[in-house]
């Protein structure tokens, strides 16, 4: 475990924060102008050398200044940033459906942080049926609507050769809600819950025509990632070189692999931070990822994440991601209770 003096911690903080602001190496003369550092350039140079020996700073051969290493940024995030900070963030998602809520969250995060924002939707296996509605649109056309506990909505129109009996419509709505509400959406679960040998031929046939709506829900929820901010991040030259841009684009294209990385945040009690080489996915090893899980207290359902350059403002990004995850968690809880 690395142990630093108070002055060394302060110098490391100043190097990390100056590099965040300028993306340039930080020299001893710059640090000597800091009113909180009551020491001269020679003393600061000595402390910089110690921090470099500890592996927390690097010394580019083209410059007299230092830049933080991945380990230096990790020390800064873990030991020098205040914990539990909350950010002011306005997510207008209270009355939204889940799809709109995810899109608004990713768009707002990208705008506030000026980085790439990714929100993963709750997986199907975490959702249960909240309500089923069966309606008559025309004499020969019925509509079935399924609402899940995570706010997802699926609907399907079903045409019949003969006019639909109003009593059959009312029975189907009552039967589906009685048998499926509160249960998972998996194909086996739906089939098992609706297996009833006592039903007549007309009832079984009618239910069979309505059940494809559940297949629609399953097919739409395989890998849902809501991504915003890629154009802004690339257009503002926030990444250092073409290889970093290619790595980021590769990560976005490989959504399944990216989803696996983001899901690591589900096991974290607070915010997950992965810096540079700490990322297992090669495409992210020159970038930083900040993510947090959201969902009701008993279970995390999805993730809110931001990806950007190593010199991102970790304090701001961590607090913003934490707040977005908290607000999405409240949204999911309210939707489940409704």
From first to last of its 338 residues, the chain has per-residue pLDDT tens of 899 999 999 999 999 999 999 989 999 989 999 888 888 889 999 999 999 999 999 988 766 789 999 999 999 999 999 888 889 999 988 877 777 888 899 999 999 999 999 998 876 656 678 888 888 888 999 888 887 766 666 778 889 998 999 999 999 999 999 988 888 776 677 777 777 888 888 888 888 888 887 776 665 555 578 888 876 666 555 566 556 666 676 677 667 678 888 888 888 889 999 999 999 888 888 889 999 999 887 788 889 999 988 999 999 999 999 999 999 999 988 876 66
Predicted pLDDT of residue 198? 85
The CATH architecture one would assign to domain 125-220 is: 2-Layer Sandwich (3.30)
| C-beta separation of 226 from 269 below 8 A | no
Q: Same CATH fold, 125-220 and 6-80?
A: no
Predicted pLDDT of residue 271? 94
CATH class of 6-80: mainly alpha
Nearest CA among 104, 129, 130 for reference residue 119: 104
Report how far residue 178's alpha carbon sits from residue 8's, in angstroms, rounded to the nearest whole number: 65
The answer to whether domain 98-123+223-337 has CATH 3.30.450.40 is yes
| Run of H or E including 191 | helix 187-193
Predicted pLDDT of residue 244? 65
Predicted pLDDT of residue 110? 93
Q: Where are the beta strands (DSSP E) in 241-316?
A: 272-275, 287-294, 302-309
Using CA atoms of 102, 105, 106, 112 in order, give the dihedral in degrees to the nearest 10.
Answer: 180
> What are the CA-CA distances from residue 24 to residues 66, 238, 275 (Å)?
9, 13, 18
Report how far residue 335's alpha carbon sits from residue 338's, in angstroms, rounded to the nearest whole number: 5
- Name the token pair of 177: 């809600």
Report how far residue 107's alpha carbon sits from residue 36's, in angstroms, rounded to the nearest whole number: 38
The SS3 call for residue 183 is coil
From the DSSP assignment, how many helices (H) and strands (E) are in the chain? 13, 10
Predicted pLDDT of residue 191? 76
Predicted pLDDT of residue 49? 94
Prediction pTM value = 0.75
| Run of H or E including 142 | strand 141-148
Q: For the chain, which residues make up each domain, given as ranges? A: 6-80, 98-123+223-337, 125-220
């Amino acid at each position: 475990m690395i142990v630093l003096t108070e002055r060394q911690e302060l110098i490391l903080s100043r190097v990390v924060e100056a590099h965040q602001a300028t993306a340039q190496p930080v020299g001893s003369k710059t640090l000597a102008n800091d009113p909180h550092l009551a020491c001269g350039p020679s003393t600061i140079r000595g402390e910089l050398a110690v921090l470099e020996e500890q592996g927390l700073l690097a010394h580019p051969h083209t410059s007299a200044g230092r830049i933080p290493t991945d380990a230096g940024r990790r020390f800064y995030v873990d030991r020098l940033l205040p914990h539990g900070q909350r950010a002011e963030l306005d997510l207008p998602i209270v009355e939204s459906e889940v799809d709109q809520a995810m899109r608004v969250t990713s768009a707002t995060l990208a705008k506030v942080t000026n980085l790439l924002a990714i929100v993963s939707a709750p997986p199907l296996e975490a959702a249960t049926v909240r309500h089923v509605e069966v309606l008559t649109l025309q004499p020969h056309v019925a509509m079935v609507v399924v609402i899940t506990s995570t706010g997802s909505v699926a609907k399907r129109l079903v045409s019949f050769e003969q006019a639909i009996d109003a009593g059959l419509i009312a029975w189907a709505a009552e039967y589906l809600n009685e048998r499926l509400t509160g249960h998972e959406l998996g194909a086996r679960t739906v089939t098992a819950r609706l297996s009833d040998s006592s039903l007549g031929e007309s009832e079984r046939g009618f239910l069979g025509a309505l059940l494809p709506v559940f297949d629609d829900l399953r097919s739409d929820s395989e890998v849902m990632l809501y991504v915003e901010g890629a154009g802004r991040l690339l257009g503002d030259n926030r990444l250092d070189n073409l290889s970093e841009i290619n790595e980021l684009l590769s990560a976005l294209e490989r959504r399944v692999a990216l989803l696996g990385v983001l899901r690591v945040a589900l096991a974290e009690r607070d915010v997950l931070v992965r810096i540079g080489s700490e990322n297992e996915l090669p495409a992210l090893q020159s970038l930083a990822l900040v993510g947090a899980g959201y969902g009701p207290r008993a279970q995390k359902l999805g993730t809110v994440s931001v990806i950007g350059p190593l010199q991102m403002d970790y304090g701001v990004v961590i607090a913003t991601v934490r707040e977005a995850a908290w607000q999405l968690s409240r949204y999911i809880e309210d939707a489940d209770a409704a």
